[in-house]
Amino acid sequence: MTDDRLLSVQGVGKHYGARWACRDVSFDLWPGEVLAIVGESGSGKSTLLNLLSLRTPMDEGAVHYALRADGNTPGGLHNLATLSEARQRLLARTDWGFVEQNPRDGLRMAVSAGANVAERLMVLGQEHYGRLRCQALDWMQRVELDGHRIDERPTQFSGGMQQRLQIARNLVTRPRLVFMDEPTSGLDVSVQARLLDLLRSLTENLGLACIVVTHDLAVARLLAQRMLVMKDGSVVEAGLTDRVLDDPQHPYTQLLVSSVLTP
Amino acid sequence: MNHGNTSAPADGLRLRASGLDKVFVLHHQHGVQLPVFAGLHLQVAAGECVALTGPSGCGKSTLMRCLYGNYAPSSGLVEVLHQGQWLDLHRGAARQVIAARRHSLGHVTQFLRAIPRVPTLDLVAEPLRRLGVDDTSASEQAQALLGRLNVPQRLWSLPPATFSGGEQQRVNVARGFIAAQPVLLLDEPTASLDERNRQVVVDLILQARARGAALVGIFHDAEVRQAVATRTFELGAAPAPTFRSPAHV
Amino acid sequence: MNTETVHTTGAPLAVAPAQSADSDYNFAFLDEQTKRHIRRALLKAVAVPGYQVPFGSREMPLPYGWGTGGIQVTAAVIGCSDVLKVIDQGADGTVNAVNIRRFFARMTGVQTTTATEKATLVQTRHRIPETPLREGQILVYQVPQPEPLFRLEPRRAQTVKLHALAEYGLMSVRLYEDIAHLGAIARTYDYPVRVNGRYVMSPSPIPKFDNPKMHLNPALQLFGAGREKRLYAVPPYTSVESLAFEDHPFEVQRWDHACALCGAGDSFLDEVIVDNAGRRLYVCSDSDHCQSRQQAGHTGSAVGEPGSQP
């Protein structure tokens, strides 16, 4: 039976001095799966996301990712720690996406929307201005941004639009795995809703695997098929999203679910 | 149209629960344990429609949710036949359970677990799209089914959040029936419906039975139950909750 | 006494006789350790074309922004038998060029010249001479900001990494922006180039008109930035390509005019306002080139007109 896992996480953890921010987390992810990591502040979910996306070095464990086969590497799971920094950086800007909580952290605010979206393609060596612009336009439309605004700077966009732009910027290289750190926090409720709808349809239509960190259970329910619940650096419960939310087993999960306000 | 498994076992079984126990443990109410049922066995074959019966609070909905994989059994097994293999809904891999729900196990619930802001037509067409049916065809089938359920066309482009109870229920039914899975779970499918639409739902159920689907349903309405069920499955009253002694809190 | 031989009328150009160096100073002003240090850095730079090598920039008798980097490079490579030419914006006679040339004459006693083909060492601010250089010559550029990505990424730690990994998407973004907002790549000077197919480099604020001259040039090209404390090099016969898009290729500037003094139609022209009415003339920026052509008999439209002497 062929191993078609996209990501395999084995016992990853990180400590700061004596305190483990995140400890012994393991799971596998298949193509097209959306996994939500939920927890409150201090649960270690953001640390985990940074470990998985190689932004922070891990103190224990390993992350394996199924690289695309090319001239230099065969396909299949590779331990990411064995990759050179150059290879890791290339991975981060081609086959992966990272949607930051604050779009200003994920965009170049001083260059136009079109340049923001087309940048990854330029980094990969595309040198035809007309085609770059065409692709930028196409992706802006896919995230429901007005293509006429392609030459405007992100500073002229609202928060929700900036977030869409950030998503387009990440998706232009058709990554197979997208990390999202609280993608809708900080936005107005109605704007959040639209963005969630967009994320939901994009992940389904493009078959993206996503790892979404959120403290908002409603976001997890809407976007994710699977869920990990974290508390104090450890995973306390995992499973199908609707099962975990409707029939929580762990005391902490029960607390979390019962604490959610419903209008 | 049968989108599901290709090789059905000779006995026609599609869904089975074995030795199913369910106890809710409420950790934040002093660890009180609420048992619902224990040692439950149920097998459903193609062409059957099993009506769950029993007094209120005996766990009919709970059992339904266990059969869908939405609730976790405390012990025991729930399995659905998916692509010729029995899949454990609780211990199976998430992606397989998701796939089973798309292809082999449909359900109609009372509460439109609102995916908000999605137009009714898209909500109903979605299960077909997820099976790979093209947009046009999915949309046409959705329209046909909504029409059959007497959901007026002017509502098709609106999200169902503002619809009346009956209208929402009919959207639920459409979404649940459209993909024609070999197993269907129906939790009060005729709730809030008038005579005319109750009949439409009855027809849908009978049609599903006729094409070989295995159905499990909760039908409050005795007439509906009479019309559709091939047999009943009685759940007894739930045992009393047990509280931990204060020393253990 | 040094005789200046820079004239704007047709006096014969000559190599100035060498004076004796000022004995209060070490040869070429810098101490020997510093010269050794800079030479080592230059060797590294030559070994990795276009790569910025940090160096310990010394205090020079003029402030940052006045060519201290170029001067230190020249001081490190100049020898007794060199013949030095110094130009500023193409002209030998401007204040900076005159002072720097006088400085080296005093510090080294070497011969100086305004004739490009007679020089062995040319220090320049912001132009490449029109006269083609040959093997054995060294061209030293004065560089204000060696980092081509500076405006896009001011953090040095980041640009070091980008150069190391050859991640130059940012530069493409800059060029894209120009086309998006202005219809064309707007850089007309300090136009970024890719050296030896590897490093992206700032050629210093020379007009983009001069960029093609860098490509496969037989001379050794050295670049010094004193304030930023970095130097880099392009060895002879190295490829230097100006960045562009496939559908917006690199183009040099062109004029509708020819030089008013010598009639050259293919040199870089300066625009000179000649009277209070705003009348203007276009003349060669490279004064040596212009004078050589005039001596060879070429004339331009302004020659012979009364009151037209610039």
Every domain range in chain C assigned CATH 3.40.50.11310: 15-147+192-242
- Cβ separation A258–B65 shorter than 8 A: no
Q: Please identify among residues 69-108 of chain A the ones whose CB lies closer than 8 Å to any CB of chain B.
A: none
pLDDT attached to residue C309: 46
At residue C15, the pLDDT reads: 63
Whether the CB of C169 is below 8 Å from some CB of chain A: the reply is: yes
Helix axes A113-123, A129-142, angle to 10 degrees: 120
What single letter denotes the amino acid at residue B9?
P
Q: Closest partner residue to B69 among A197, A240, A249, by Cβ?
A: A240
Q: What is the mean pLDDT of residues B34-50?
A: 93
Residue C190 has what DSSP assignment? S
A135 to chain C: which residues are within 8 Å by CB? Answer: none
Please indicate whether, in this complex, the C-beta atoms of A85 and C165 are within 8 angstroms of each other.
yes
* Separation between Cα atoms, residue C204 and residue C139, nearest integer Å: 12
Specify the pLDDT at position B156. Answer: 95
CB neighbours of C111 closer than 8 A, spacing ≥ 6?
C15, C16, C17, C18, C82, C83, C84
* pLDDT confidence of residue B245: 53
How far apart CA B194 and CA B186 sit, in angstroms, is 18
Binary contact (B28, A254; C-beta < 8 A) = yes
* Banded model confidence at residue C23, pLDDT cuts 50, 70, 90: confident
Distance CA(B39)–CA(B21), nearest Å, equals 6
Helix B165-177 / helix B195-210 crossing angle, nearest 10 deg? 10
DSSP-assigned letter for residue C18: P
CB-based contact A209:A34 (threshold 8 Å)? yes
Q: How confident is the model at residue B244 (pLDDT cuts 50, 70, 90)?
A: low
Angle between the N-to-C axes of helices C95-108 and C68-77, in degrees from 0 to 180, rounded to the nearest 10: 30
Predicted local distance difference test score (pLDDT) of residue B162: 86
For residue B2, pLDDT over 90 is answered with no
Choice among A46-50, B4-8, B149-153, C244-248 with the minimum mean pLDDT:
B4-8
Q: What is the pLDDT of residue A123?
A: 87
Q: With an 8 Å CB cutoff and a minimum of 3 pairs, decide whether chains C and B touch.
A: no
| A226 contacts chain B (CB < 8 A) | yes
Residue A182 pairs in a beta bridge with: none
Burial (Cβ within 10 Å: 0-12, 13-18, ≥19) of residue A95: middle
Contact B65 A246 (CB under 8 A): yes
Task: Kindly tell me if the per-residue pLDDT of C126 is higher than 50.
Answer: yes
Q: How far is A198 from chain B (nearest CA, A)?
A: 11
Q: Which residues of A touch B75 (CB under 8 A)?
A: none
- Asked if C243 and C171 touch (Cβ cutoff 8 Å), the reply is yes
CB contact under 8 Å between B72 and A249, yes or no, is yes
Residue C76 near residue C35, CB atoms below 8 Å: yes
Give the integer Cα–Cα distance in Å for C112 and C19: 10
* pLDDT(C84) > 50: yes
pLDDT of residue B114: 61
The position carrying tokens 């639409």 is: B197
Fold of C15-147+192-242: Rossmann fold (3.40.50)
Torsion of CA C76, C78, C84, C87, to 10 degrees: -10
pLDDT, position B115: 66
DSSP per-residue letters across A129-165: HHHHHHHHHHHHHHTT--GGGTTS-GGGS-HHHHHHH
3 state DSSP class of B39: strand
> What is chain C's mean pLDDT, rounded?
90
- At A225 the pLDDT is 92
Chain A closest CA to B19's CA: distance in Å?
A: 19
Q: Tell me the two tokens of residue B212.
A: 């070989």
Rounded CA gap, A42 and A54, in Å?
20
| Cβ–Cβ gap A111/C247 under 8 Å | no
On chain B, the residues whose CB falls within 8 A of the CB of A255 are 27-28
Quick check: B248 pLDDT over 70? no
Inform me whether the pLDDT recorded for C17 exceeds 90: no
Report helix, strand or coil for B22.
strand
Instruction: Count Cβ atoms below 10 Å from residue C86 Cβ, excluding itself.
Output: 31
3-state secondary structure of B66: helix
With residues binned 3-state (H G I as helix, E B as strand, rest as coil), the percentages for chain A, rounded to 5, are 40, 25, 35
Q: What is the DSSP string of A38-93?
A: EE-TTSSHHHHHHHHTTSS--SEEEEEEEEPP-SS--SEEEEGGGS-HHHHHHHHH
**The two structure tokens encoding residue B121:** 């037509």
- The residues facing B34 across adjacent strands are B24
Tens-place pLDDT, residues C204-216: 999 999 999 999 9
pLDDT number for residue A188: 84
Q: C200 to chain A nearest CA, in Å?
A: 14
Residue B219 burial (10 A CB sphere; 0-12, 13-18, 19+) = buried
Catalytic residue among C262, C278, C297, C307: C262
How far apart are alpha carbons C8 and C211 in whole angstroms? 27
User: Left (φ > 0), alpha (ψ -120 to 50) or beta: where does A239 sit?
Assistant: left
Instruction: Report whether pLDDT(B3) > 60.
Output: no
Average pLDDT by consecutive 10-residue portion of chain A (263 residues)? 87 94 95 94 93 94 90 81 90 93 92 95 91 96 94 95 95 95 86 85 88 92 93 95 94 90 63
Q: Do A123 and C169 touch (CB under 8 A)?
A: yes
pLDDT at B112: 62
Let me know: does C104 contact C278? Beta carbons within 8 Å: no
Which string of DSSP letters, residue by residue, matches A21-35?
EEEEEEEEE-TT-EE
Each residue of C252-299: pLDDT tens digit?
988 888 999 999 999 999 999 999 998 999 999 999 999 999 999 998
pLDDT at A75: 74
Chains near B (3 or more Cβ pairs under 8 Å): A
C151 to chain A: closest CA residue? A110
**Does any CB of chain B come closer than 8 Å to the CB of residue A249?**
yes
Query: What pLDDT, on the 0 to 100 scale, is given for residue B118?
Result: 84
The per-residue pLDDT for B240 is 76
Instruction: Sort A125 into a burial class: Cβ within 10 Å, 0-12 / 13-18 / 19+.
Output: exposed
What letter would DSSP give residue C187?
-
Q: Return mean pLDDT, chain B.
A: 88
- Residue C9 banded pLDDT, cuts 50, 70, 90: very low
What is the rounded radius of gyration, in angstroms, for the C-alpha atoms of chain B?
A: 19
With beta carbons under 8 A apart, name residues in chain A contacting B98.
Answer: 225, 240
C180 in A contact zone (CB under 8 Å): yes
Sequence-separated contacts (24+) of B163-166 with Cβ below 8 Å: B163/B120, B164/B192, B165/B191, B165/B192, B166/B192, B166/B193, B166/B194, B166/B197
Rounded to two decimals, the ipTM of the complex is 0.87
Average pLDDT over residues B186-194: 91
**b/e map of B117-131 (b: 16 or more CB within 10 Å)?**
ebebbbbbbbbbbbb
Q: Which of A73-87, B105-119, B194-208, C122-136 has the lowest mean pLDDT?
A: B105-119
Q: Would you state the pLDDT for residue C18?
A: 62
Task: Report residue C8's pLDDT band, with 50, 70 and 90 as the boundaries.
Answer: very low
Mean pLDDT of B238-247: 66
Instruction: Give the mean model confidence (pLDDT) for residues B158-184.
Output: 92
Query: What is the token pair recorded at C262?
Result: 């010598």
pLDDT given at position B102 = 93
Res B1 pLDDT > 50:
no
Least confident residue range of A128-132, B236-240, C94-98: B236-240
**CB atoms inside a 10 Å sphere around CB B17:** 22
Its pTM stands at 0.84
Mark whether C80 is an active-site residue.
no
- Runs of H (alpha helix) within chain B: 60-68, 94-103, 120-130, 135-148, 165-177, 195-210, 222-228
Q: Left if phi > 0, otherwise alpha if psi is -120 to 50, otherwise beta: which for B23?
A: beta
What is the domain partition of chain A in residue ranges?
96-174
Residue labelled with tokens 């080294």? C108
